[in-house]
Structure 1
């Protein structure tokens, strides 16, 4: 930390201390937030606010100072004749951009029409020993923006508004489910198996019990146990962990909202999810129309509903129903010169192969909110088979701007069928499909005690925010994304 500017700032701190100024004061009582003060009428007096100094413009007998926080900023006017010689020169000689101050004064509007607080008195509230970066924007600083997110939040307007939107979004989602009589619950992060999704887990070790555990990849099987236990409508904000490749749409640690309703099917959930998205847009952005990839999309209009088979047929010319065997399907993609760019393509089960085909050829083309339905059963080990066509499942995904935003099913509640499917998955796993699901005996036992009809859903907060704010990468939608150790 020993550069010249830091040394100078430490000297200023010592000078303040020697002048009897408390350099680490205990508190300062404010009566307005900065954004509230900027809305006050001229002449409002005894206004007390505090913030970090982000700008100083000096003139001979006065200074304009900008203080700010995550929710807003305010211009202050410091005049020698109004605060006195000592306070005025103390500010100029000993305070820097980055420092914190608390002020009291009266509101007025400048000739350039900016709401400003005329300082009558100020208090020093904390010194920045490092200089705030001037050249912050630009690609070379992306890693730094994630590593030192606090600087990014201080300086970048986009980051501020996106991550404030995240907080508002979480509040709206929670309110929506509570208003629809869902009960919020919490389930374990440390689990014996990694069930509830198709993903690779992070492993950890419990010393006292001398067992290896997984960090959960999804809360699904525990939430369904609660339905067995008598809950009828539950939801959870669940931190989940998936030990998978890094991409602009994937995080290894993310927040999933997952929930279940007894006696519902996936069509009931479809309506719930559409209404939720509209409610969240309205509460977070005050509109249901947003711009994605330069295209204005009104979410309140009708959403398309398209089947998995029709979508793949439209984009690749392949009718997956004609290829019940994965090897034949693979041959057909080769024939059509479709390169799936996947190293272990030949060891994939049919479900994961079709999924890969869809992700490569179809998903990127979907921009407007679209419900994708009738997924192949191989792809949905925990979903209910369709009554009319058992090769398909009663499931939907909401896709917007090439990203899967919500995943939902009518749940499989038949324990014998569930056991059969998990056995199939275990076989795929032993044959090298590392993403296949593993056996979960404890969950099967819970199912054998009886389950009502259930529909459930899951979605990632970051993915939803990424789509709704048209962000380039999901890392921009989390406060502190994981970065490599320096």
Structure 2
């Protein structure tokens, strides 16, 4: 097969090079004026009756995806903008017979062409164009694959244009992703949120590192958007959001990529209860706008059949401590004492008893996070809010209004995958400094996910932050769920590792 592909490339290249040398034709013209797009062509002329032709001359352009012969005619499948029409190339309707043979012999599958002709419907009711002129706009020098095999997946992630050319499903996924982002923007704009842009550099936890030549210094790409948004809230921008890229220097798997897209917002004079309502409205409305219903299927292929996700509001809520106690069938230490050595020992014993792995340091926060992942997250097929996490798990969240030791936080899970995280923002600068100090200690003890002391944030809080809710959602993950994609690579246009050539 590779030998055939190489031979095809050599032959096509020779034809194009010869044309450029002797001036037989221009294989790469500067422009072709298309009077209509293929979607608009279909919309306007699909009302034609069978065997009816329009007297209106039009010009369209696209890529040839199939070539068929029948008697004295050629049939091309012309595709563009997720739309395909048929081109009926007939010498009898062409501008001249000689020109017909000259043009068709130099055109092949994969080429981009322009057609000038008349819309028509065939006896079988296929909407077509019958050209009197065809122009080669850009030749394809390779044999396009007929289909993409699963074993070639990595190749087509790296050559995404092939995936887009061959599979309409891939193009559709990125149309849906674009509609998701547009919906989020409209939703927030309609609620008086201001879209902002914050610096890409500056991070803690596990950032990616680059180098600034002018200052001869290391720079760290951001891992989240929240710190700058919090400063804006201090500055009086009561409702602000950002849609942008963030980076984590962590492992890559089915749901993680070092570079990913997130949306974060800060809403002054709101708490996590308000943000839960906003989340329900946004996601249920988004699904309804995309699919016209609240219940959708995910991954219909497989031995277990489709998984149905129901986005009908309101979403289920699961409080961390009560739900964990039901699962492990024993009482946990009081949330206000969870960071004591005795409580950590109890959590360690529970994790060991249930075979839950937790790498050192086995702190209360890390052990609780593993318990939540093991017992609660796996039950979240339909959208579910896991709420009221212990304070030891939420250093930036405000303490609970009624329950000592808990925080006002929620994580939204859909199909066992975290989609959204939010909490009532901690606005007490004295408590914030204490929390940062504890995080710094945890980091020194080996917890590389802990925060370092953010002195700038503490100074900002000392100027006064109103009661505020903070919210963030992963765009890539919600796109996975709403496009029926099983890996994050399927909904990233260019997921490849650029270091690999």
Name the TM tier (shorter chain): over 0.9
**Which residue in 2 is equivalent to 1:79?**
90
Matched, 1:9 2:12: yes
- What is the count of residue pairs matched by the alignment? 476
Matched, 1:207 2:210: no
> Take 1:321 and 1:132, find their aligned partners in 2: how far apart are those partners?
63
**Which residue in 1 is equivalent to 2:64?**
53
**Which residue in 2 is equivalent to 1:464?**
478
**1:270-349 paired onto structure 2 within 5 Å:** 270-293=276-299, 294-317=306-329, 319-321=331-333, 324=338, 325-336=343-354, 338-340=355-357, 342=358, 345-349=359-363
- State the Cα deviation string for residues 25-77 of structure 1 (Å, max 9, x = none): 11222232212222323244222211111111022411110111342222111
> Take 1:81 and 1:300, find their aligned partners in 2: how far apart are those partners?
58
1:170 pairs with 156, 159, 181, which one?
181
Q: Which shows bigger deviation, 229-238 or 274-283?
A: 274-283
**Which residue in 2 is equivalent to 1:268?**
274
Deviation at 1:12, TM superposition (A): 2.3
Deviation at 1:216, TM superposition (A): 0.2
Deviation at 1:206, TM superposition (A): 1.9
**1:80-479 paired onto structure 2 within 5 Å:** 80-83=91-94, 84-138=96-150, 140-191=151-202, 193-194=203-204, 199-293=205-299, 294-317=306-329, 319-321=331-333, 324=338, 325-336=343-354, 338-340=355-357, 342=358, 345-479=359-493
Deviation at 1:227, TM superposition (A): 0.8
Is the alpha carbon distance of 1:70 and 1:311 closer, same or farther for their aligned partners in structure 2, counting shifts above 3 Å? farther
Deviation at 1:364, TM superposition (A): 2.5
Partner-residue secondary structure (3-state), 1:111: coil
Matched, 1:22 2:34: no
Relative to the length of structure 1, the TM-score reads 0.93
Partner-residue secondary structure (3-state), 1:360: helix
> Take 1:390 and 1:204, find their aligned partners in 2: how far apart are those partners?
42
Shift >6 Å, 4+ stretches = none
Partner-residue secondary structure (3-state), 2:8: helix
User: What 5-or-longer segments of structure 1 have no aligned partner?
Assistant: none
> Take 2:216 and 2:430, find their aligned partners in 1: how far apart are those partners?
32
> Take 2:406 and 2:418, find their aligned partners in 1: how far apart are those partners?
19
Q: Which shows bigger deviation, 48-57 or 34-43?
A: 34-43
Partner-residue secondary structure (3-state), 2:157: helix
Partner-residue secondary structure (3-state), 1:346: coil
- State the Cα deviation string for residues 323-354 of structure 1 (Å, max 9, x = none): 82223211122123x232x4xx2313211221
> Take 1:467 and 1:387, find their aligned partners in 2: how far apart are those partners?
34
Partner-residue secondary structure (3-state), 1:261: strand
User: What 5-or-longer segments of structure 2 have no aligned partner?
Assistant: 300-305
Partner-residue secondary structure (3-state), 2:236: coil
Q: Which shows bigger deviation, 74-83 or 281-290?
A: 281-290
Is the alpha carbon distance of 1:311 and 1:33 closer, same or farther for their aligned partners in structure 2, counting shifts above 3 Å? farther
**Which residue in 2 is equivalent to 1:485?**
500
Is the alpha carbon distance of 1:211 and 1:91 closer, same or farther for their aligned partners in structure 2, counting shifts above 3 Å? same
> Take 2:97 and 2:18, find their aligned partners in 1: how far apart are those partners?
17
> Take 2:133 and 2:385, find their aligned partners in 1: how far apart are those partners?
59
Deviation at 1:301, TM superposition (A): 4.2
Query: Does the CA contact (< 8 Å) of 2:360 and 2:446 recur in 1?
Result: no
Query: Does the CA contact (< 8 Å) of 1:9 and 1:129 recur in 2?
Result: yes
